[in-house]
Amino acid sequence: MTTNKGTVYFIGAGPGDPELITVKAVRILRQADVIVYDRLVNKALLEDTKPLVELIYCGKLPNQHIIPQEQINEILVQHALKGKLVVRLKGGDPSIFGRVGEEAEWCVNHGIRYEIIPGITSGISAPLYAGIPLTHRDFSSSCAFITGHKRTDKGGPDIQWEKLATSVDTLVFYMGVGNMALIQEQLLRHGRSKHTAVALIRWGTTTSQETLTGTLENIADRVLQANFRSPAIIVVGDVVKLREKLAWFENDASDYFQIAK
């Protein structure tokens, strides 16, 4: 590896609240020559950077990519080959449905040094800000993170529903709002109780946070009635019942952000 090559840092930006990013990530952002960032990254994180930093937006909407993944890979490598410090800034944690493995492989294939700085994933933080811990001695001893996004020719997530439905206490779905009816149908079909509590948390950890609750029997209808849209995390499991007692953020969001200032 030659010494004139730059470095690519894959950084988790956290779930939305700009204070939920690591100290190390902030330090690297301040040194970056190029920042390639996603749609769910809080723009406040881009303000404390070098004056001449190059910002490249590559946000992705459901079924719509501003820049194709292959082109993102090339952008990272080409800037690093010029000796620049490149940051790939991803919402949440880069390893949780963030395609960091593919992008890091691309760096390896081109002899580019890289480092991965973890972030707080929305699948943990959004439920917590809604008063829902994913595990609890009385309710849940296991949890699973699942993509709810379309991946198969049949138009649904590639999931082994028959094994997932009853083997894990708490199920956390990313990118699944558009497939809520399918998720509901499959979990019920494979043995999950219709009385299981469900919550959807939209724009978690931000002042725009909203939470919609129901049961596995009625949640799809409630999503439609409320016109509840992405980005949102879906939590399925009895831990959702704790929200009534533990919800803290939505009741005091204005006070929270005032203190944070």
Active-site residue set:
38, 60, 175
Burial group, residue 54, by CB count within 10 angstroms (0-12, 13-18, 19+): middle
Specify the long-range contacts of residues 219-224, CB closer than 8 Å, at least 24 apart. Answer: 219/180, 219/184, 220/180, 220/181, 220/184, 223/177, 223/180
